[in-house]
Amino acid sequence: MLYNKFYITTPIFYINAEPHIGHAYTVIAADILARYHRIRGDKTFFLTGVDEHGEKIERKAIGQKQTPQKFADRISAEFQLTWDELNISNDFFIRTTDKKHKKAVQNILQYLYDKGDIYLGKYKGLYCRECEQYKNKKDLVNGKCPEHQIVPEKIEEECYMFKMSKYQNKLLKLIKTDKVKIRPLERKNEILNFYKDGLKDISFSRKNVKWGIQLPWDKSQTVYVWADAFLNYLTGLAWDGNFEKVPEMWPADLHLMSKDILRVHSTIWLAMLLALDLPLPKQLFSHGFFLINGQKMSKSIGNVIAPKDLVKKYKIDGARYLLISATPFGHDGDVSWKKFDEKYNADLANGLGNLLARSVALMDKMRLKGIKMQVKDENFQFSIFNFQSIFNNQFSISKNEFKMSRIWETYKKKFISIELDKIIDLINQQQRFLDSFITATKPWELIKNKDEKVGIIMYNVLERLRQITWMILPFMPDTAEKIWESLGINIVKEKEKKFSEAIKWGGLNPRSKIKKSKPLFPRI
Concatenated DSSP letters of 87-153: T---SEEEETT-HHHHHHHHHHHHHHHHHTSEEEEEEEEEEETTTTEEE-GGG-BTTB-TTT--PPE
On the question of pLDDT at 299 being above 70, the answer is no
More confident residue, 297 or 257: 257
> Quick one: 20 exposed, middle or buried, by C-beta within 10 A (0-12, 13-18, 19+)?
buried
The closest alpha carbon to 381, from 369, 371, 390, 372, belongs to 390
Angle in degrees, CA 352, 354, 357, rounded to 5: 110
Whole-number pLDDT of residue 403: 84
pLDDT in tens, 37-55: 999 999 999 999 999 999 8
Q: Is the pLDDT of residue 109 over 80?
A: yes
Segment among 149-163, 170-184, 217-231, 393-407 with least mean pLDDT:
393-407
Handedness of CA 146, 150, 155, 159 (dihedral sign): negative
| Dihedrals phi, psi of 224, to nearest 5 degrees | -55, 135
Asked whether the predicted pLDDT for residue 92 surpasses 60, the reply is yes
Q: Flag whether pLDDT at 395 surpasses 60.
A: no
DSSP codes joined into one string, 405-435? HHHHHHHHHHHHTT-HHHHHHHHHHHHHHHH
pLDDT, residue 394, reads 55
Q: What is the mean pLDDT of residues 219-233?
A: 96
Query: 508 falls in which pLDDT band (50, 70, 90)?
Result: very high
Please state the rounded mean pLDDT for residues 361-378: 88
Range list of H helices, 325-403: 337-343, 354-369, 387-391
Q: Measure CA of the first residue to CA of the last residue in the chain; give whole Å.
A: 50
Average pLDDT over residues 482-495: 96
- The answer to whether residues 471 and 411 touch, using CB atoms and an 8 Å cutoff, is yes
Q: Domain residues of the chain, as ranges?
A: 336-502
Indicate the pTM of the whole model.
0.92
Q: Which residue has the higher pLDDT, 131 or 111?
A: 111
For residue 126, is pLDDT > 50?
yes
Q: Give residue 29's identity as a one-letter amino acid code.
A: A
**Averaged pLDDT score across all residues of the chain:** 90
Whether domain 336-502 has CATH 1.10.10.10: the reply is no
Predicted pLDDT of residue 156 = 73
Q: Is the pLDDT of residue 56 over 60?
A: yes
**pLDDT recorded at residue 437:** 87
pLDDT score at 420: 97
Supply the residues annotated as catalytic. 20, 23, 128, 131, 145, 148, 296, 299
